[in-house]
A = this chain, B = another copy of it.
Amino acid sequence: MGSSDRADGPAIELREVSKRFGGRAVIDGTSLTVGRGEFLALIGPSGSGKSTLLKLVSGIESPDSGRVLLSGQDVTEQPPYRRRVHTVFQNYALFPHLDVAGNVGFPLRMAGVDRRTRSARVAQALDWVELGPFASRRVEALSGGERQRVALARALVSESEAVLLDEPLSALDPHLRTQTLELLQDIQERLKVAYLYVTHDREEALRAAHRVGVLNQGRLEQVGPPEEIYRRPVSPFVASFIGPINWLSGERSEQGDGWVELSGGPRVPTTSRTLPAGPKLLLGVRPQDLWLGLEGFLGARIVGRQFSGTSVSLRLMSELGVPLTAELRADVETPPVGTDVRVSWSPEEAHIFGVAP
């Protein structure tokens, strides 16, 4: 079961894959490549098809059209137990009648690995997830975090090229998520295994993945490195989903390109890149990119203030009647609630999209 039988090609490749359930396209002509040793995170709201995409890769579902390739081999027609890719299920799906070693060794046993090799490799996999002394524990006696790591060890133990992770942190307590994510990252780097990681938590994806894909209604809207997705979203959906944002509507100024006329308000400058085509424009600025001062594009009144330790977030009511949120560093003195201020932003930080009328 060494690496000699591996074909060339990316760890996972989907080519124009579609899947319908009851007439509805859950995955709609999606192509995606996960390179060898790459950590790719897929994010999207519930119902966007994230989990279905994983099932198409693992073989639990088969696509209506399109091809699925693992390490360059077409596995579209193969049942799940022939595909050399394992899944970390959202609820872990551990075998409650087996102990930790029995769970982790299951894939090896199914592959016919002899007992002695098996126990050595199980011990190794448990070391990766820092559960060395837990081999003979009952699964029921484990905490949520420990179960999660058993599920991970079970998916890693046969050293296949790719592991699928279905919202692996969602059942964990918030305070465990950060450290578990770091463990996932460390293992991924150490073993050079490819991760296809599904989550609905944008911060997890941005923090940990090499590339992030944003799914919306069965279609991949954008795939790219985290900072690219965050700084240059290709659609209002991506911009909103990847982080909080203030939206202002407007249209192209008649006084020439580079200016946007906000609905019922002032003109604001933009960077010189050509504005999108739609007759209506949508201009988005993230809360931490808003500046408050005596000068600025827009008048606004501070109507609320929340301190969160690292930052202070101010709720503003702008002269346009649109509420805005600004997030300032907590160590900067902020004006009190009720103050009238003017709001501006750096034109480079404004995300502008055209919308159909």
| A331 contact set on B, CB distance < 8 A | 289, 349
In the complex, the answer to whether B174 meets A307 with C-beta atoms within 8 Å is: no
Q: Is A206's beta carbon under 8 Å from chain B?
A: yes
Q: Is A226's beta carbon under 8 Å from chain B?
A: yes
In the complex, the answer to whether B206 meets A308 with C-beta atoms within 8 Å is: yes
| A327 contact set on B, CB distance < 8 A | 310
User: In chain A between 328 and 357, which residues have their CB closer than 8 angstroms to a CB of chain B?
Assistant: 329-331, 349
In the complex, the answer to whether B174 meets A207 with C-beta atoms within 8 Å is: no
In the complex, the answer to whether A307 meets B201 with C-beta atoms within 8 Å is: no
Could you say how many copies of this chain the assembly holds? Answer: 2
| A289 contact set on B, CB distance < 8 A | 331
In the complex, the answer to whether A207 meets B288 with C-beta atoms within 8 Å is: no
In the complex, the answer to whether B243 meets A307 with C-beta atoms within 8 Å is: no
Q: Is A247's beta carbon under 8 Å from chain B?
A: no
Q: Is A117's beta carbon under 8 Å from chain B?
A: no
Q: Is A272's beta carbon under 8 Å from chain B?
A: no
In the complex, the answer to whether B243 meets A203 with C-beta atoms within 8 Å is: no
In the complex, the answer to whether B309 meets A242 with C-beta atoms within 8 Å is: yes
| A226 contact set on B, CB distance < 8 A | 307
Q: Is A202's beta carbon under 8 Å from chain B?
A: yes
Q: How far does the alpha carbon of A266 sit from the alpha carbon of B174 in the complex, in Å?
A: 36
Q: Is A208's beta carbon under 8 Å from chain B?
A: yes
In the complex, besides A203-B308, A288-B330, A289-B331, 15 extra interface pairs with C-beta distance below 8 angstroms are A174-B201, A202-B309, A206-B307, A207-B306, A207-B307, A208-B306, A226-B307, A230-B309, A230-B330, A286-B310, A288-B310, A288-B329, A310-B311, A329-B329, A331-B349
Taking beta carbons and an 8 Å cutoff, which residues of A are in contact with B? Answer: 174, 201-203, 206-208, 226-227, 230, 242-243, 286, 288-289, 306-311, 327, 329-331, 349
